[in-house]
Chain A
């Protein structure tokens, strides 16, 4: 089945640090990848839609200068949390969809737990 790899799984760092999270589709090509954030006991909130070769589309209220997204190839998207602060601590999850196939679900990475001290 479709596999999405996300790295790192956990990050603990000081306030002001920038953190990069990678999302890879291992056995399929994904023109579109999605980035979500999930706070404890809450559902997934879509942050942005990442399109290969073009600028990401951010959801309302998400700062594009703080959450930089790059989708350089059909198998890799990165999310960089710039100058992270404690309020950015959360569970970040990426997902990808097989292209050109109706009814295909989004396949999720294992998530990155980010803790800013």
Chain B
């Protein structure tokens, strides 16, 4: 079956660094995406990994290990506006390239 796991909730302090982990077991793999979703809004794209290693985009970095079925999203210099849900999604290798979403991690940034 398809299974993508993330911690349900996390709390961090403004200015700090936080790492959100994602483990996956899927029948196919054609890339892993991280999205940010504020309450009541649609998800917005943060990062994409298809090969092993670290991808850095400003304050956000994402890491992938395909052999371990593991990814993490690293957020640096946390700001209050980073309080949101962070969704890990795996794109399967089928013809439609559909995304399978994880449970999402609700991050609360405190002053």
Contacts and interface: CB of A to CB of B under 8 A. Distances in A.
Contact of A108 (B31, B42, B100, B106): B42
Contacts of A43: 87, 101-104
Interface size class of B (residues with CB under 8 A): 20 to 34
B97 interface: yes
B44 interface: yes
* SS class, residues of chain A in contact with chain B: strand
Range for the number of chain A residues in contact with chain B? 20 to 34
Contacts of B98: 34, 46, 49
Interface in B32-67: 33, 40-45, 48, 50
Interface stretch (A13-21, A65-73, A76-84, A99-107): A99-107
Nearest to A2: B45
Interface in A91-116: 91, 93, 95, 97, 103, 105-111, 113
Interface of B: 31, 33, 40-45, 48, 50, 87, 96-104, 106
Interface of A: 6, 32, 34, 41-46, 49, 51, 57, 91, 93, 95, 97, 103, 105-111, 113
